[in-house]
Chains A and B, each alone.
Chain A
């Protein structure tokens, strides 16, 4: 008896290719940082109510990351999570591998166009509030591979990015600094009119 196959592999290829081409065509302009004005405004005057402050304090210390280790940066991220640098000091020891349980997308490494739809899907699956950290030169701008036929020149073409951490790869200290910058952003989050 012949088993009916649920799909044909050439059809899968075609669908996958069409999805990538559509994303590529739609990703011409980088997403701007929605709160680029934030630091400047904060310096001028800050008004936070105590309730907001407590909620933000809670949010800040329980940022659960979903790691997306795409290339060598992933090892620096792993180092940052291990005992020497100890990410758990920031309430981040729980790396969630389900995007639905995470609120920080930690993209570490080179993003290719073939991977880009997966990144977008993971981002879309995360619940609000959510943040994105671009770790390493490749995620920030394509890095050494900018101008390659297969690499996305900056993940902000695919998802909005909150914190950019340059470096090739950034040291764990660099990542920690980026995450502390993110904390500052989380604290001020409620200022944004959504």
Chain B
């Protein structure tokens, strides 16, 4: 069983290296500033031997987006969760980690496609599922769809006209 590392312990290690990168930490996760994400990720990859990126996901909290990164070391058999916030809503940007983990490529494109967060430094930042010209970002909480043939859909469900 993979051992989840304590976020507080790791926050300590990061804090020694990058003094103002960590904003918060608890047992399960470390919260870092998005500007420092790439440096922190690079540092952790080396020091904790995090050779595998399990997943990246984004959450819309209406006031801000939060990105969650789950990293695992397949050699040392431990894992860590890094979270970062993005307050911008019009044109949110976060540094890409494709340069460190190739597996981030499609996941970052998926987040860009459905949540509208753009990743700085991604080699091919374009939509992955939806077609070119699609209006809006469907996984955002404020997204509204016009259903062809009548009705409007929101996150609360479909209202057929």
Report yes or no: A150 in contact with B129, Cβ–Cβ below 8 A: yes
- A147 engages B145 (CB within 8 Å): yes
Contacts of B151 in A (CB 8 A): 147
Per-residue interface assignment for chain B, residues 75 to 115, with 1 indicating a CB less than 8 Å from any chain A CB and 0 otherwise: 00000000000000000000000000000000000000000
Inter-chain CA distance A152–B157, complex, in Å, is 16
CB-contact partner of B132 in A14, A28, A30, A113, under 8 A: A14
Asked whether B148 is an interface residue with its Cβ less than 8 Å from the other chain, the reply is: yes
With contact pairs A14-B132, A17-B131, A21-B131 given, residues A146 and B126 touching in the complex (Cβ less than 8 Å) = no
Q: Chain B: which residue is nearest A22 at the CB level? A: B133
Q: Provide the bound-state CA to CA distance between A21 and B143, in Å.
A: 18
Interface core residue of B127, B130, B131, B134 (most chain A CB under 10 Å): B131
Say whether B158 faces chain A, with CB atoms less than 8 Å apart: yes
Cβ contact within 8 Å between A10 and B138: no
* B147 with A17: CB separation less than 8 A: no
In angstroms, Cα B147 to Cα A30, docked, is 13
Q: Are B147 and A146 in contact (CB under 8 A)?
A: yes
Q: Which of B126, B129, B148 contacts A153 (CB 8 A)?
A: B148
B131 and A28 contact, CB distance less than 8 A: no
Inter-subunit contact A17/B157 (CB<8 Å):
no
Q: How many A-B residue pairs have CB under 8 A?
A: 56
| Structural contact, B132 and A148, CB atoms closer than 8 A | no
B131 & A147 in contact (Cβ 8 Å cutoff): no
A30-B138 in contact (CB<8A): no
Question: Which residue of B126, B130, B132, B133 contacts A150 across the interface (Cβ within 8 Å)?
Answer: B130
Q: A17-B134, A20-B131 are in contact. Are A149 and B126 (CB under 8 A)?
A: no
Residues on the B chain within 8 Å of A157, using CB: 148-149
Interface size on B, residues (CB 8 A): 19
State the interface size on chain A (CB cutoff 8 A).
24
Establish whether residues B149 and A147, one from each chain, have CB atoms under 8 Å apart when the complex forms: no
- Chain A, residue nearest B132 (CB): A17
A30: chain B residues at CB < 8 Å are: 149
A154 contacts chain B at the CB level, 8 A cutoff: yes
* Inter-chain contact A114/B148, CB cutoff 8 Å: no
Docked-complex contact A149 and B133, CB < 8 angstroms: no
* Residues in chain A near residue B126, CB distance under 8 A: 10, 13
Contacting pair B148 A28 (CB below 8 A): yes
A149 to chain B, nearest CB (A): 4
Flag if A153 contacts B157 (CB, 8 Å).
no
Given A13-B132, A147-B158, A27 contacting B147 (CB threshold 8 A): no
**Whole-angstrom CA separation of A114 from B138 in the bound complex:** 15
Q: Could you tell me the distance in whole angstroms from the C-beta of B10 to the nearest C-beta in chain A? A: 37
A residues lining the B interface (CB < 8 Å): 10, 13-14, 16-18, 20-21, 24, 27-30, 113-114, 146-150, 152-154, 157
Please name 28 pairs of A and B residues whose Cβ atoms are closer than 8 Å in the assembled complex, sorted by A.
A10-B126, A13-B131, A14-B133, A16-B132, A17-B131, A17-B133, A18-B133, A20-B133, A21-B133, A28-B148, A30-B149, A113-B131, A114-B131, A146-B158, A147-B145, A147-B147, A147-B151, A147-B153, A148-B145, A148-B153, A149-B134, A149-B136, A149-B138, A149-B143, A149-B153, A150-B138, A153-B147, A157-B149
